[in-house]
Amino acid sequence: MPPRTVGPWELLSVLGRGGIGTVYRARHRSGGGFAAIKVLGPSPAVDSTAARRLAREYEVLRRLDHPNVVRVIDAGVAEGFSYLAMELVEGLDLRTWLSPALDEGGPSVPPAGASPSQPSLTEPATPGAPGAEAIYALASLMDEPETEPSGMLPHDGPDVPGAPPAPRPTLDPTALEALNRPGRMARLRTVLAQVLEGLAYIHESGLVHRDLKPTNIMVDDQRRARLMDFGLVKDAHGEDEPLTQAGRVVGTYRYMSPEQAQGRPVDARSDLYSVGVILFELLCASPPFTARDPVQLWREILHVTAPRVESLNPGADRALAELTHRLLEKDPARRPQTAAAVIAALRG
């Protein structure tokens, strides 16, 4: 059974479920403010890697302060449940916010449920929930391995069968017109610039996100993009920390750069590749690579050139289409080298 409370927070409703936990809408029991709480199961049901990722996410986010990056409030362990409290972002994920079905002027997102007031970010954690240290201590009691054997990565041999690519949606003239509507394109440019501003900030902080995808980018009710879910973040200048589940490459294959898919060291340019995948999807209503089978998808990411945007959407913005293909270069050296360079191209 999920808990009713963790630390000072009363859990009200489920906002989403991910690979390492459940996110709840929650209310502070004494202050009354609302937050989003990521909760891991009780310790027997959670491996040490997941707990350390949560602690790492808290440690990273508590030192970041940018309008396009979600803020954290506290973290700790309560009755065996590790948790991370973040500001509650009222809004829509990026894909939904840019859906052609929504108003050209952009959706108006009313606060869900009760008052969306936020607790103070300087509010101290309550006794018994002393931040990341408690989560690390809990993780140290678990026996799950922290490293992933490199032999578990996909291999590129001809003996590995692959499924055919999934069919792309057929875009009739009405659908294409909706995708290319000037109002939608203006909103896309604005929100993408905000995403890149947030990325520039975290890259300048020496970090790589490693899990950028539309569901990890929220647009709040002030139409401000927010980067979310820093559970796979890494230090771009240090050794890669072994905080992945055994036998798995970290990240989401669909949005992963070739170097990340191969388990190689990554830097800011890997995140920019992920931006290219997102931009392709927003321009064409489907991702650049559509294989259902993970191994086949891995091969496409490494070896197949993405189709031209204009071949799927002849009316697409030419500058955005060209920027997309620069971001999707297999060789990191051929991509734009910084988020600031992409912002300049976007605004040029």
Q: Could you give phi then psi for residue 93, rounded to 5 degrees?
A: -70, 165
- CB-CB contact of 67 with 50 (8 Å): no
Pairwise CA distance, residues 309 & 281, whole Å: 9
Please give the C-alpha separations between residue 143 and each of 48, 79, 211, in angstroms, as whole numbers: 7, 19, 26
| Other residues' Cβ atoms within 10 Å of the Cβ of residue 294 | 14
Examine the residue annotation and report whether 211 is marked as an active-site residue of this protein: yes
Name the CA dihedral angle for 146, 149, 152, 155, rounded to a multiple of 10 degrees. 140
3-state SS class at 23: strand
| Other residues' Cβ atoms within 10 Å of the Cβ of residue 52 | 23
Of 47, 74, 211, 317, the catalytic one is 211
| Edge-to-edge order in the sheet of strand 5-6 | 5-6, 9-17, 22-28, 34-42, 81-87, 72-78
Q: Which residues are catalytic?
A: 211
